[in-house]
Structure 1
């Protein structure tokens, strides 16, 4: 009997451009066959363009996937899940921002977020298992607010400590815990994955 193959890992970035030393970029390089959703060109803040890019990426993949989303990529994922379907074994949803409260300077305001379709944020249970990884000192979302999102989405909340927004500006880089959390969804279990057991 053949073992069940690993699902395809699909990385869903946030609103910032791809950064070589971002943990998602580094993780993708460690997992053979991982796919990163490309940023839509000339889309600005448009939510629909990012949801369409995720849906287009998934439409090219046969079999189950595990989604690995960061920041606004988490919100892209939940907006996608509210209107599309694909076999999703699970989703690692890292440090979602709280778009319902004003963000720090240098980030989009509530008017721009609403105008571009991000608000309201879906609060219905996701149709697949989720793990929400929440930072205790994220400048873009208080821990209790992220805990509320996890509860509404029917996802497990994991406290990952004081890691800021889990990005290079916060000192990350590699995020080894991502590999452990992905194993919850059956990733990294085949001998040829290249991911340490």
Structure 2
């Protein structure tokens, strides 16, 4: 599949993705990408965030590719259970935080946990760092295995955001390009 053949839903995490974040850069470069906007970025409410992702999936007119970062991963994973996942071609999930860890800050992020652990009904890829302050690599490895997702080891890359030096993130762009090129249109979109 080509990027132009998909509705690419950019799902940022806590406090949104700023202008230098790779998600914002990809949104600006990919003509078929759009951000899932949340009413409250700094005080996220799980039900509200999940509902917004479900609404955007429902509004899609082309196969959906989810591109989630951090708390956006949790919102996306919870939304999949409620959405018409027959519209979803794949999910690119980056830096999933450990939302079941009582040490996570701010504490209200725990309301997004625990993650559903059932296999995802479409191809998925999890990119995880070995020194992410919001989630241990082993935790990301375990959820990726449960979801049936391919795990990409990003080495020591922090939280894979602009603060950790991943504004442009060309390596991520290359991994995403390969991932989307291997996706097939869901049955409801096939010619």
TM-score by length of 2: 0.85
Mark the structure with the bigger radius of gyration: 1
1:186 matched to 2:185? The reply is no
SS at 1:99 equivalent:
coil
| Residue 22 of structure 1: aligned partner | 21
Q: How does 1:40-79 map to 2 (within 5 A)?
A: 40-41=39-40, 44-79=43-78
* Structure 1 unmatched ranges of 5 or more: 189-197
Are 2:122 and 1:124 aligned? no
Q: Could you tell me how far apart the structure 1 residues matched to 2:103 and 2:134 are? A: 6
2:162 equivalent among 168, 184, 188:
168
The CA deviation at 1:25 is: 0.1
Q: Any conservation in 2 of the 1:132–1:155 contact (CA below 8 Å)? A: yes
- Cα distance between partner residues in 2 of 1:94 and 1:8: 18
Please point out which of 133, 151, 155 is paired with 1:157. Answer: 151
Q: Contact 2:14–2:42 (CA<8 Å) still a contact in 1?
A: no
Q: CA deviation at 1:122?
A: 0.8
Query: Which segment drifts farther, 35-44 or 146-155?
Result: 35-44
Q: Distance in 1 between matches of 2:181 and 2:60?
A: 16
2:15/2:42 contact within 8 Å kept: no
Alpha-carbon distance, 1:40 to partner: 2.0
Two-structure CA RMSD over aligned residues (Å): 2.4
Superposition deviation, residue 184 in structure 1: 3.5
Q: 1:27 to 1:4 in 2, by over 3 A?
A: closer
Q: Displacement of 1:88 after TM fit?
A: 1.1
* Matches of 1:92 and 1:157, distance apart in 2: 10
Match of 2:89 in 1: 89
Task: Give 3-state SS (helix, strand or coil) of 2:5's partner.
Answer: coil
- Structure 1 residue 113 displacement after superposition: 4.0
Q: Please give the TM-score of this superposition, normalised by the length of structure 1.
A: 0.83
Is 1:9 matched with 2:8? yes
Contact 1:93 1:130 in 2 (8 A): yes
Larger helix percent: 2
Quick one: distance in 2 between partners of 1:26 and 1:61?
21
Aligned residues between the structures = 181
